[in-house]
């Protein structure tokens, strides 16, 4: 689909609602299978949160702005920043600040926020350890980091990923080196969702629009609630706390 047409359609409320419920895209799949887990890890109320690698704002607009007094949304891509700024202005979201920057060099002071959310970012960084150290740096002792990363093997090649993914053991070791202690973790994007990702690639490459198969992700979320590690998970969400 032409990017300009896609952006115009996404500005329409009725179209966004239709897409979110029927059509499978990377964001709508994450909304169904990943977001419910992240939402359970987030506190109900907080002072300041930083969403690192906000993308088009799924978590910033749908989860964080309702729970925190102030939300700082950091994104490296200028086209995403423009989209976020337009959405923020049209909806009068005064508690959200937009910052353009990199996760490897966060433009924030030490211990500046209570909570940091970072979904699907670390695998894009050449120096993933530096990115994790930066996330830890902006948290005070006792601060909360919620992070998600892909789990190898990848269902399909993604040229934007510097790292294919991380196992739980690898993330535990990396986070330990950043003074972060894991309190909870969970898997998502199981085998049904992996199949949906293949369909998305086929439809968008051959037909130019997403497939109407999001219902498969709802089925997966309902059926495979236990022992998710047995169903070839492609994503892990980790909730951790900064130690002294």
Taking the CA of residue 159 as centre, how many other CA atoms within 13 Å lie in the half-sphere pointing to its CB? 0
Residue 171: predicted pLDDT: 96
Phi-psi category of 165—alpha, beta or left, where left has phi over 0 and alpha has psi -120 to 50? left
Please tell me the pTM assigned to this model.
0.89
Count of H-run helices and E-run strands, the chain: 11, 7
Quick: pLDDT tens for 105-149: 999 999 999 999 999 999 999 999 999 999 999 999 999 999 999
pLDDT band at 1 (very low <50, low <70, confident <90, very high): low
Q: How many CB atoms lie within 10 A of CB 76?
A: 16
- The CATH H-level (homologous superfamily) assignment of domain 3-242 is Vaccinia Virus protein VP39 (3.40.50.150)
Quick: pLDDT tens for 36-57: 999 999 999 999 999 999 999 9
User: Which residue in 104, 152, 162, 149 sits closest to 240, CA to CA?
Assistant: 149
User: Which residue in 116, 190, 184 sits closest to 150, CA to CA?
Assistant: 190
Residue 72, φ and ψ in degrees, nearest 5 = -110, 120
Phi-psi category of 238—alpha, beta or left, where left has phi over 0 and alpha has psi -120 to 50? beta
């Amino acid at each position: 689909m032409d990017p300009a047409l896609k952006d115009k359609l996404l500005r329409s409320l009725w179209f966004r609602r239709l897409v979110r419920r029927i059509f499978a895209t990377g964001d709508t799949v994450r909304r169904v299978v990943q977001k419910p887990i992240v939402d359970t890890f987030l506190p109900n109320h907080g002072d300041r949160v930083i969403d690192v690698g906000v993308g088009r704002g799924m978590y910033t607009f749908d989860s964080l702005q309702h729970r925190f007094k102030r939300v700082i949304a950091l994104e490296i891509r200028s086209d995403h920043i423009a989209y976020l700024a337009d959405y923020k202005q049209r909806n009068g979201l005064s508690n959200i600040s937009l910052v353009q920057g990199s996760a490897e060099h966060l433009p924030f002071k030490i211990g500046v926020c209570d909570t940091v959310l970072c979904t699907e970012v670390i695998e894009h960084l050449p120096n993933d350890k530096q990115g994790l150290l930066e996330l830890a740096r902006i948290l005070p002792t006792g601060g909360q980091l919620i992070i998600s990363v892909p789990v190898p093997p990848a269902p399909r090649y993604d040229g934007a990923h510097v790292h294919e993914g991380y196992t739980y053991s690898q993330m535990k070791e990396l986070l330990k080196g950043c003074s972060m202690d894991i309190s909870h973790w969970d898997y998502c994007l199981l085998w049904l969702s992996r199949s949906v990702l293949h369909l998305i690639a086929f439809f968008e490459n051959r037909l130019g629009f997403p497939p109407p198969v999001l219902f498969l992700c709802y089925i997966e979320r309902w059926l495979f609630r236990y022992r998710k590690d047995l169903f070839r998970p492609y994503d892990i969400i980790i909730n951790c706390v900064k130690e002294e």
